[in-house]
């Protein structure tokens, strides 16, 4: 890993002055090209040295196989965010699959539709009772807000569906003590672990 800092304020010989500088890191992962991340703008003190940086990015989230297996093998209450009566959506099929695995589902969608005979709620905060897993079927850019709602609601785990990736949200959930599964699907993972309906 290498780090690149902006030029020292005031130059090598000039009089020091306060000015913001950008802090950028370049990270090399095996088999991957260089990836550049800007951490943020910080103010340098009068001597030109940096006195603080934004939080460094965490390592990419890796799903814990034991967590995946436990969540799928243990009957629980799953709030399925994005679940509506739209049969063409993946959420509709996966909710049925979760029921076959013995899970209780709770639809969460702005329209608050009843799905599979279960009343829906417009927001996680309005779901009564405890929630074991929040299953997230929204675009990646919206997932962070849902994860924050899951944390606030006291959920025990968040499951971001296949294609839904938010590293920062996953880190927040893990830091809050929630189990986190990201970018995969129960219908993929359950057969892998020999879990059947």
Residue whose entry in the numeric block shows the structure tokens 């129960």: 186
From residue 12, alpha-carbon distances to 42, 50, 154 in Å are 19, 15, 53
Report how far residue 24's alpha carbon sits from residue 33's, in angstroms, rounded to the nearest whole number.
16
Range of the domain at 97: 65-192
Domain with residue 71: its CATH number is 3.40.50.720
> Does residue 57 lie in a domain region?
no
Max CA separation in the chain (angstroms): 74
> Does residue 180 lie in a domain region?
yes
Supply the DSSP symbol for 85: S
Are both 29 and 75 inside the same structural domain? no
Q: How many domains does the chain have?
A: 2
Are both 39 and 83 inside the same structural domain? no
Q: What is the pLDDT of residue 7?
A: 42
The 10s digit of each residue's pLDDT in 12-47 is: 444 444 434 343 334 333 343 434 333 333 333 333
Joined together, the tokens standing for residue 139 give 């675009």
Nearest to 16 by CA among 50, 42, 56: 50
Joined together, the tokens standing for residue 138 give 């929204």
> Does residue 59 lie in a domain region?
no
Number of other residues whose CB lies within 10 A of the CB of residue 158 = 29
Task: Record the pTM.
Answer: 0.71
The 10s digit of each residue's pLDDT in 149-159 is: 999 999 999 99
Q: What is the pLDDT of residue 58?
A: 62
Mean pLDDT on 159-170: 98
> Does residue 56 lie in a domain region?
no
Are both 82 and 168 inside the same structural domain? yes
Are both 124 and 184 inside the same structural domain? yes
């Amino acid at each position: 890993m290498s780090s690149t800092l902006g030029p020292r304020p005031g130059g090598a010989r000039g009089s020091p002055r306060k000015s913001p500088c950008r802090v950028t890191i370049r990270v090399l992962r095996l088999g991957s090209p260089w990836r550049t991340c800007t951490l943020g703008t910080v103010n340098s003190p009068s001597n030109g040295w940096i006195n603080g940086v934004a939080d460094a990015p965490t390592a990419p989230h890796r799903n814990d196989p034991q967590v995946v297996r436990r969540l799928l093998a243990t009957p629980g209450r799953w709030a399925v965010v994005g679940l509506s009566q739209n049969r063409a959506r993946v959420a509709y099929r996966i909710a049925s699959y979760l029921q076959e695995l013995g899970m209780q589902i709770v639809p969460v969608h702005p329209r608050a539709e009843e799905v599979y005979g279960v009343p829906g709620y417009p927001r996680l905060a309005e779901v009564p009772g405890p929630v074991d897993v929040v299953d997230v079927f929204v675009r990646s850019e919206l997932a962070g807000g849902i994860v924050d709602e899951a944390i606030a609601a006291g959920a025990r785990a968040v499951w971001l569906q296949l294609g839904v990736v938010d590293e920062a949200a996953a880190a927040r959930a893990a830091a809050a003590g929630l189990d986190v599964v990201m970018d995969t699907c129960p219908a993929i993972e359950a057969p892998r672990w020999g879990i059947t309906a």
